[in-house]
Structures are given as C-alpha cells and as structure tokens.
Amino acid sequence: MLTARELDEIESANSSGRTPVVFVHGLWLLSSSWDRWRRMYESEGLATIAPGWPDDPETVAEARRDPDVFAHKMVRQVTDHYLDAIGRLTAKPAVVGHSFGGLIAQKIAGEGAAAVTVAIDPAPFRGVLPVPPSSIRSSAAVLANPANINRAVTLTFEQFTYGWANALGEPEAKRLYEEFHVAAAGVPIFQAVAANLNPFTEVRVDSKNPERGPLLLISGEKDHTIPWSVTHAAFKRQERNPGVTEIVEIPDRGHSLTIDDGWPEVATTALTFVRTHLPS
C-alpha cells in the first residue's frame, strides 16, 4: 500500500496542475536520494513524486536500524507499487529511474504508463545478453551466497567503492556511503541473473509496445555495475520500438552518477530530454 507521504505527494502533484515526474530509485538507496533532483525539476515548473519500494523506511537512520525490512522485494511487486502511484496521478507522467529503478522505469514505459522515460545505468532485462566481468564482481556481494535470495544485503565500503564509487576520490566515496547507502533485497539480483534462462521471469520489458513513448538511456562511462555494453544492449532492443529511442554516455562517471557531486549534469541531461519530448 502507498504510504501517507506518497499519497500526499500525489495529491500535491495533482493539485499543482503541473506535469508530474516520477522518480524510481534502485537497490541500496532510498527515495530521498532524489531530493536534489526534485528541487531542480520543481524549480523548472514540474511536479515531482518519489515513491519508495514497498516497506521502505523514510530515512537512512531508520533503514540502518532495521535492515531486514528490505528483504523479499521482487521486481513485479515493486513495479506494481509504482504503477499504483502513477494510476492516481491525473496526468501521464515522465518517469526517471536509476539502476533497478531504470529497469522498473522501462517496465512502466512498456505498459504504456509513461509519457516519456529516462533510464540511467539500468539493470538488464530478459534479452539483454552481455555479462561483463565488472558486473559479476559488483554483484558478488549478493550472488556469492545463495541464501541472500531471502535476505537484505548491506555492502561493505570496499564493495560500494568498487561497484558505485570507482570514479570518485575516497573522501567523496566515504561521504556518499555514509549519506545514502542502505541495505537492499538480494532477490532482484538473482531474478536479473536468471532472466535469460527463465521464460516466466518478472525481469522482462515490453520494448515493442507502440504506446511506450520516448525513451532515453544514460550510461556512466566508468560504471562497473552496469557498464556501457549492458546499457547499449538494452538500447538495441528498445530501438525496435516506433517511439524515439536515444542513448548517451556521460564521461568519467560511475554508478553513483545520480548522487555524487556531478549529479547536476546527469539531471540536466535527463531534464532536457523530458522537456523536449513531453506532449504539449
């Protein structure tokens, strides 16, 4: 069920009369990781909402007190949560997602529920085939123990540095780890790894739906978790859609590109695409 905060944000967006933008976070973050993006987009005349995943705590401090609350969250359940929020909006929104949030954003677009979509370093869906060594190493914190499919997993600082902050200096990496990092469900990573072997997987995207709308994929050049080869393979599948499909690589950026000090460049890139392709 949607929380009181989420319902309040939806009501505020509807009453504003502005075009809404829905932000979708991925694993190891909370919806508050989008706060700076939201302020930027609202200053540009858009309304924003940032639902969490089901049962997400509201703050990083709460999340660290009870990390087990993140366990068992599967891709379909999370997608349905966001679709519930979108279904309560009075206007079809733009949707912006990062990492597993980028996968969910594409699922939402594939259901025809988004006016325009931006997927940033998105987790792969069924049909996206590259499995780079850096992705394997980045996911090893979860995949190394099969029992993690039923657990919430917290990254060590070293694991966070390799998978997220490899393009940053150590002081900024430590600051981001302390400010943003929380535990995450292990099961979505197991779902993604098995997607190309499981014909019934939840990790699929309807990339051919003519109602998908315009889509931009953004890749960080130095991302270890979702390298260019993975994002580009998603682009090649999405390119078959009759809608506008674009891809851009942001130089010298890792998986932390939505939260590190270079976030305004990424936010502006996404905003320009949204502004260009939103219906009049």
pLDDT tens by residue, 82-129: 999 999 999 999 999 999 999 999 999 999 999 999 999 999 999 999
Selection from 36, 30, 34 nearest residue 64 by Cα = 30
Token duo for residue 227: 């390298």
Percentage of residues in the chain with pLDDT exceeding 70? Answer: 100
Residue 142 confidence (pLDDT):
97
Percentage of residues in the chain with pLDDT exceeding 90? Answer: 99
Distance (Å, rounded) from C-alpha 81 to C-alpha 87?
10
Long-range contacts of 193-197 (CB under 8 A, 24+ apart): 193/139, 193/143, 195/124, 195/125, 195/126, 196/126, 196/127, 196/129
Domains and CATH numbers, the chain: 4-277 (3.40.50.1820)
Check if the beta carbon of residue 167 is closer than 8 Å to that of residue 254: yes
Contacts of 237 (CB under 8 A, 6+ apart): 127, 128, 205, 207
Check if the beta carbon of residue 176 is closer than 8 Å to that of residue 259: yes
Token duo for residue 195: 């997607």
Bridge-based pairing of strands 94-98 and 116-120 is: parallel
Give 166-220 pLDDT, tens digit per residue: 999 999 999 999 999 999 999 999 999 999 999 999 999 999 999 999 999 999 9
First and final C-alpha spacing in the chain: 32
CB atoms within 10 A of CB 16: 14
Give 38-72 pLDDT, tens digit per residue: 999 999 999 999 999 999 999 999 999 999 999 99
Residue 280 confidence (pLDDT):
74
Token duo for residue 123: 């987790």
Token duo for residue 251: 């130089």
Distance (Å, rounded) from C-alpha 19 to C-alpha 38?
13
Is the per-residue pLDDT at 279 higher than 90?
A: no
pTM across the whole model: 0.97
Q: How wide is the angle at C-alpha 27 spanned by C-alphas 36 and 74, nearest 5°?
A: 130
Distance (Å, rounded) from C-alpha 19 to C-alpha 39?
15
Computed over every residue of the chain, the mean pLDDT equals: 97
Give 122-158 pLDDT, tens digit per residue: 999 999 999 999 999 999 999 999 999 999 999 999 9
278 pLDDT band, cuts 50/70/90, is very high
